[in-house]
Amino acid sequence: MNIDEKYFNESQMQANTVEDVLDGGESVLWRGKPDKKAHIAAAVFKALPITIIWLIFDLGFIIGISISMSRGGIPLALLGFIIPFFLLHLAPVWVWVANILRSVTEIKNMEYVLTDKRVLVRSGVIGIDFKSIYYNEVESVNVKVGLTDRIFKVGDIYINAKSSAAVLYDLHNPYILGGKIQKVVRDIATDINYPNALRPDYNPGYNTQYSDSPFESQPFDN
Better-predicted residue by pLDDT, 120 or 85: 120
Reported confidence tier of residue 207, pLDDT bands at 50, 70, 90 = very low
Using a 10 angstrom Cβ sphere, with 0-12 exposed, 13-18 middle and 19 or more buried, the burial of residue 108 is exposed
Over residues 17-49, the pLDDT tens digits come to 888 888 888 888 889 999 999 999 999 988 888
Model-level pTM? 0.71
Spatial CB neighbours of 35, under 8 Å, sequence gap ≥ 6: 152, 154, 170, 171, 172
Average pLDDT, the chain: 79
| Among 122, 112, 96, 178, CA closest to 145 | 178
Over residues 185-205, the pLDDT tens digits come to 888 777 766 665 555 555 555
Q: Kindly report the backbone phi and psi dihedral angles of residue 145, in degrees, each rounded to the nearest multiple of 5, phi listed first.
A: -125, 110
Which domains does the chain carry?
27-34+110-198 (2.30.29.30), 41-104 (no CATH)
